[in-house]
Structure 1
Amino acid sequence: MHGRSLFWAMMLAITSLPASAEVVQMSATGFETTQSITIDKPINQVWPVLRNPQKWWSKEHTYSDDSANLYLDGQALGCFCERLADGGSIAHAQILYIQPPRMIRMTGGLGPLQAEAVTGTLTWALAREGDSATRVTFTYIVAGTIRGGAEAIAPKVDEVLAVQLLGLKSAAESAAPPPKPPTTR
């Protein structure tokens, strides 16, 4: 990417971050981050996009450098996983609770947290905002032993998850509405 293009991409990313992004609490052994954003699509159109991270998760935050390798099973104990080119795979998180179209709760250490002795709980909650918008909020709570301390990694995790939330918004708002069922006579 050329210097000027990179500058504008960074400025867009900074100015597009969700307004309510926040590391809520932090200590040497854990942290909590929460963010919210309004998506200008009804909940029944946002839910299927959320359930397909390959459509919105940034490839820069995958092990394979390809978001198409991500998938999310649709049931408790299902996997938020990634396929690797050599036939391997990565379990990013496991679904603990799923209630369409309202909530997905997973447990797992995302990214570099996978190599630490932590438990992380990531909750995605969707709420209707009128007839045509959806409020999406995630909360990620991490606790355990983090080499270097949680204070060092919490802001970075918050930033990476903000990028994913913006990706979800972009993908959901650009997705075609589901086809209407045929009318019967």
Structure 2
Amino acid sequence: MVRHILIGTALAAASPATAEVALSDTGFTTTNSAEVAAAPADVWAALIEPARYWNADHSWSLDAANMSLEPQAGGCFCEALPDGGSAEHMRVIMVQPDQTLRLSGALGPLQAEGLAGTLTWQLEPVDGGTRITQTYALGGHMQFDRETFAPVVDGVVREQLDRLVALFPGNQD
């Protein structure tokens, strides 16, 4: 059984055009999208530099400058930590430049759960720009109530989309 929760999108001018959370018996999927007045190649260039848009509050080091992404299969979406430490947030599993970036992993505190996650960023040319669709599917053993926690996770990944969109003046939300 799948249940859908629609997330309010009129929160601010920078909110994505659409936002949805679908719950199942074993996990949930969040889907967010927005349009920007920029070519897919320009959006791609920003997307593969998470230090430009990732909120430092959602990092272990509290410094987005420590975030990096290797845009190739097997590449790491990683973070440098103080004293020579590091954290792998996700592993890159698919790259189609200017079109699709797909990563595998459970973000942040979800790493401690028995979960598998897939974050897909899809870029599609539209009149006057690019539609960005972000989908995060998460499933497995959860020690938390997915119905309560799914909108929280959606808010975190949606914020990263909002911050990416904000890099492009004249966005079309």
State the AA in 2 paired with 1:30.
G
State the partner residue of 2:20: 22
Check whether the contact 2:17–2:35 (CA below 8 A) recurs between aligned residues: no
Q: CA deviation at 1:28?
A: 4.9
157, 161, 168: which is aligned to 1:165? Answer: 161
Q: How many Å separate the matches in 2 of 1:27 and 1:44?
A: 35
Q: How many Å separate the matches in 1 of 2:148 and 2:103?
A: 23
Q: CA deviation at 1:172?
A: 3.8
Q: CA deviation at 1:27?
A: 3.5
Q: Deviation per CA, 1:49-73: give whole Å up to 9, x if none.
A: 0010000111111111110000000
Structure possessing the higher radius of gyration over alpha carbons? 1
115, 128, 133: which is aligned to 2:129? Answer: 133
State the AA in 1 paired with 2:161.
L
Q: CA deviation at 1:44?
A: 1.5
1:52–1:172 Cα change, 3 Å: farther
Choose between structure 1 and 2: higher strand proportion: 2
Q: CA deviation at 1:17?
A: 2.0
Structure 1 gaps, min length 5:
1-12, 175-185
Q: Name the SS for the 2:83 alignment partner.
A: coil
Check whether the contact 1:22–1:35 (CA below 8 A) recurs between aligned residues: yes
Structure 1 moving runs of 4+ over 4 Å = none
43, 57, 62: which is aligned to 1:60? Answer: 57
State the partner residue of 2:115: 118
Q: Name the SS for the 1:137 alignment partner.
A: strand
Q: How many Å separate the matches in 2 of 1:36 and 1:117?
A: 28
Structure 2 gaps, min length 5:
1-9
Q: How many Å separate the matches in 1 of 2:27 and 2:110?
A: 11
Among all aligned residue pairs of Structure 1 and Structure 2, give the percentage whose two residues are the same amino acid: 43
State the partner residue of 2:7: none
State the AA in 2 paired with 1:154.
A
State the AA in 1 paired with 2:93.
L
Check whether the contact 1:49–1:172 (CA below 8 A) recurs between aligned residues: no
Check whether the contact 1:27–1:151 (CA below 8 A) recurs between aligned residues: no
Q: How many Å separate the matches in 2 of 1:55 and 1:150?
A: 30
State the partner residue of 1:51: 48
Q: Deviation per CA, 1:113-167: give whole Å up to 9, x if none.
A: 111000001100000112x411000111111011123222110011111110011
Check whether the contact 1:92–1:110 (CA below 8 A) recurs between aligned residues: yes
State the AA in 2 paired with 1:137.
T
Q: CA RMSD in A?
A: 1.5
State the partner residue of 2:152: 156
Q: How many Å separate the matches in 2 of 1:128 and 1:104?
A: 15
Check whether the contact 1:103–1:126 (CA below 8 A) recurs between aligned residues: yes
TM-score when normalising by structure 1: 0.82
Q: How many Å separate the matches in 2 of 1:155 and 1:88?
A: 31
Matched, 1:41 2:41: no
Matched, 1:95 2:95: no
